[in-house]
Chains A and B, each alone.
Chain A
Amino acid sequence: MHELSVTESILNIASRHAEQAEAKRVTDIHIVVGKLSSIVDDSIQFYWDMISEDTICAGATLHFQRVPARLACLDCNAEFELSAELIPCPKCGSVRVKVLAGEEFWLDSIEITR
């Protein structure tokens, strides 16, 4: 549950970029979240409404783009997605795997009005 500090970071980054772009207000915020990053969107939304009040970002809608966890097998080169828990390669059973995607966590863009 570190979503409060995460939400504060989102607010800081969005406000800084909004000011640089001479925005009057921020209407939408687009966030990319990998499935392995253990971030709970609902908690961020919950904190967001509280801490964005009276800022340039007040009332902005948060959009979360979820990136699935994708792994590659280092033995048979098969690529597979994790639906829930960590599993060995479904094709050959190898545990020699590499995480290709799913650890992302960044602020992609904001939508502003001037």
Chain B
Amino acid sequence: MSSIRVPVIEKIFNANDQLAVLNRKRLDEAGVFAINLMASPGAGKTTLILNTIRALAPEIRIGVIEGDTAPVTIDADKVLAAGMPAVQINTGGDCHLDAPMIEQGLNSLPLKELDLIIIENVGNLICPAAFQLGSHANVLIASVPEGDDKPYKYPNIYRGVQVLVVTKTDLLPYVTFNMDYFRQGVEMLSPGLVTFPLSCKTGEGVAEWTNWVRQQVKQKRGQ
């Protein structure tokens, strides 16, 4: 029996990407702007979310989808304590969120009563980059103590992001972090990337970031 070659040419992430398109459509119809927040563990994702809530609520109604690899609700609890609806998604050990998990998350949030959804992805610089969720902006956080070489080591996640937030800038005097070298790597992978250096500890730069978010939400509402 001879074998027959059948051409396929199908993207392996196709099924996920198609569902991501449906998620996006659902968000658009509800007039909700969604951010996919990605970073390594400890970069300050939850802290940035809490600061964003503090700056924008109640003017902007925010829901949060928390991705965690284990059933720990520490992050979700903090958001709930800040008075915002939060959904905890336990990925069951998986290293990333994917479009089906976001679909579930959207089912549990009162979409019609929200203006903004922040999705806190699993802390990881490799896997989340491959999975589109349907968000309007992929936002990457790089914290100063992680080092200035991350764009060179994890090029994938720096591709296809719309915004970069550099956190913990208050630590710049204490750690070796060459901002020019860092920015050069970012520029090679995502030319002209919108970047917000900030410190949630001192508050420096946070308003620039939250203004950007406010702007996006307003635009989405106006559509």
Contact = CB atoms under 8 A, between A and B. Distances in A.
27 contacts: A1-B95, A4-B94, A6-B12, A9-B13, A9-B14, A9-B16, A13-B8, A13-B10, A13-B12, A17-B8, A21-B4, A38-B126, A38-B156, A86-B189, A95-B184, A96-B187, A96-B188, A99-B189, A105-B11, A106-B11, A106-B12, A107-B12, A109-B9, A111-B5, A111-B6, A112-B4, A114-B4
Interface of B: 1-16, 94-96, 98, 126-127, 129-131, 151-153, 155-156, 159, 184-185, 187-189, 191
A14 interface: yes
- B-side binding surface: helix, strand, loop or mixed? mixed
A21 B98 CA distance: 30
A93 to B, nearest CB: 11
Contacts of A113: 1-4
- A-side binding surface: helix, strand, loop or mixed? mixed
A41 interface: no
A37 B7 contact: no
A109 B16 CA distance: 20
A86 B152 contact: yes
B156 A36 contact: yes
A85 interface: yes
Q: How large is the interface on A (under 10, 10 to 19, 20 to 34, 35 or more residues)?
A: 35 or more
A1 to B, nearest CB: 5
Contacts of B184: 88, 95
A107 B10 contact: yes
A51 to B, nearest CB: 14
A31 B10 CA distance: 10
A97 interface: yes
A86 B98 contact: no
